[in-house]
Chain A
Amino acid sequence: MSSYQHCYRESDFVLRHLIDFDGLCVENGFEGVDLDLANSLIDEAARFGAEVLAPLNVVGDREGARMGEGGVVETPGFAAAYRQFAEGGWQSLKVDEGHGGQGLPDVLNAAVSEIWHAANLSLALCPMLTEGAIEALAEHGDETLRARYLPRLSSGEWTGTMNLTEPDAGSDLAAIKTRAVPDGEGYRISGQKIFITWGDHRMTDNIVHLVLARLPDAPPGVKGISLFVVPKYRLDAHGDPAEANGVRCLSLEHKLGIHGSPTCVMAFDDAWGELVGEPHRGLAYMFTMMNRERQVVGLQGLAIAERAYQQARLYAMERLQGTRRDGTRVAIIAHPDVRRMLMTMKSGIEAMRALVLETAAEADRARGANEGARRAHHQARLELFTPIVKGWITEFAQELTSLAIQVHGGMGFVEETGVAQHYRDARILTIYEGTTGIQALDLISRKLLADEGRAIGALFDEMEETLGVLRQAEEASLVVLADPFADGLAAARRACDWVLREAPDDRQLAGAVSVELLMLLGYLCGGWMQVRSALAAHRAIEDGEGDALFLDAKLKTARFYCEHVLARTQAALTSVLSGSTSLMALDAGQF
Chain B
Amino acid sequence: MKILVPIKRVIDYNVRVRVKSDHSDVDLANVKMAINPFCEIAVEAAVRLREDGKADEVVAVSVGPKAVQEQLRTALAMGADRAIWVETAEDADLGPLGIAQLLAALVREEQPGLVLLGKQSIDGDNNQVGQMLAGLLGYPQGTFVSGLEVVDEGIEVVREVDGGLQTLALRLPAVITTDLRLNTPRFIRAPDIMKSRRKPIAHTGAEQLGVSPAAGPRLLAVHPPEPRAGGIRVESVGELLERLRQAQVI
Contact = CB atoms under 8 A, between A and B. Distances in A.
Given A40-B193, A48-B187, A5 B29 contact: no
Output the residue of B73, B77, B187, B197 with the most chain A CB within 10 A: B187
Interface in A404-458: none
A102 B191 contact: yes
7 contacts: A5-B14, A32-B197, A40-B193, A51-B187, A52-B187, A89-B190, A547-B29
Contacts of B92: none
Counting chain A CB atoms within 10 Å of each CB, which of B14, B32, B194, B197 scores highest?
A: B194
A88 B189 contact: yes
Which has the most chain B C-beta neighbours within 10 Å: A44, A90, A93? A44
B164 interface: no
A44 B194 contact: no
Interface of A: 5, 8, 32, 36-37, 40-41, 44-45, 47-48, 51-52, 84, 87-90, 93, 102, 328-329, 546-547, 550
B190 A88 contact: yes
B18 to A, nearest CB: 10
A550 B194 CA distance: 29
B188 interface: yes
Contacts of A329: 230
A41 B193 CA distance: 7
Contacts of B189: 87-89
Contacts of B190: 41, 44-45, 88-90, 93, 102
Contacts of B212: none
Interface in B170-192: 187-192
A528 to B, nearest CB: 27
Contacts of A45: 190
A479 B240 CA distance: 59
Given A5-B14, A8-B32, A546-B30, A37 B191 contact: no
B230 A44 contact: no
- Report which residue of A37, A40, A48, A328 has the largest number of chain B beta carbons within 10 angstroms of its beta carbon: A40
Nearest to B188: A44
Nearest to B230: A328
A89 to B, nearest CB: 4
Interface in B63-99: 70, 73-74, 77
A522 B28 CA distance: 38
A329 B233 CA distance: 14
Given A47-B187, A89-B190, A40 B73 contact: yes
B193 to A, nearest CB: 5
Contacts of B14: 5
A546 B190 CA distance: 27
| Of listed A8, A45, A52, A89, residue having the most chain B CB within 10 A | A89
Contact of B77 (A40, A48, A52): A40
B160 to A, nearest CB: 24
B193 A44 contact: yes
Contacts of A40: 73-74, 77, 193
Contact of B187 (A37, A84, A93): A84
Given A36-B70, A44-B187, A47-B187, 5 more contacts: A32-B197, A44-B193, A88-B188, A102-B190, A328-B230
Nearest to B198: A32
Nearest to B190: A89
A156 to B, nearest CB: 11
Interface residues of B, number: 18
Interface string B19-55: 0000000000110100000000000000000000000
Contacts of A48: 187
Nearest to A92: B190
Contacts of A546: 30
Contacts of A44: 77, 187-188, 190, 193
Nearest to A88: B189
A328 B230 CA distance: 9
B30 A550 contact: yes
Interface string B178-219: 000000000111111110010000000000000000000000
Contacts of A37: 193-194, 197
Contacts of A8: 32
Which 4 residue pairs spanning A and B have beta carbons closest together?
A547-B30, A89-B190, A89-B191, A89-B189
A4 B218 CA distance: 39
A102 B187 contact: no
A87 B186 CA distance: 11
A45 B189 CA distance: 9
A231 B192 CA distance: 31
Contacts of B188: 44, 88
A123 B30 CA distance: 33
A84 B189 CA distance: 9
Nearest to B29: A547
A102 B197 CA distance: 14
Contact of A88 (B73, B187, B197): B187
A8 B187 CA distance: 18
Contacts of B194: 37, 102
B226 to A, nearest CB: 17
A17 to B, nearest CB: 14
Of B74, B77, B191, the most chain A CB neighbours within 10 A belong to B191
Contacts of A52: 187
A329 B194 CA distance: 50
Interface in B224-238: 230
A90 B193 CA distance: 11
Nearest to B77: A40
Contacts of A87: 189
A196 B70 CA distance: 43
Contacts of A5: 14
A38 to B, nearest CB: 10
A32 B196 CA distance: 12
B15 to A, nearest CB: 11
Contacts of B30: 546-547, 550
Nearest to A50: B14
Contacts of B73: 40
A243 B119 CA distance: 54
B22 to A, nearest CB: 16
A483 B163 CA distance: 71
B186 to A, nearest CB: 9
B125 to A, nearest CB: 23
A44 B193 CA distance: 9
A87 B190 CA distance: 9
A12 B188 CA distance: 20
A5 B12 CA distance: 13
Contacts of A89: 189-192
B217 to A, nearest CB: 29
A87 B192 CA distance: 11
B12 to A, nearest CB: 9
A328 B194 CA distance: 52
A321 to B, nearest CB: 15
A108 to B, nearest CB: 11
Nearest to B196: A40
Contacts of A36: 70
Contacts of B74: 40
A5 B14 CA distance: 9
B79 to A, nearest CB: 13
Nearest to A548: B30
A37 B189 CA distance: 13
A45 B191 CA distance: 12
A36 B67 CA distance: 12
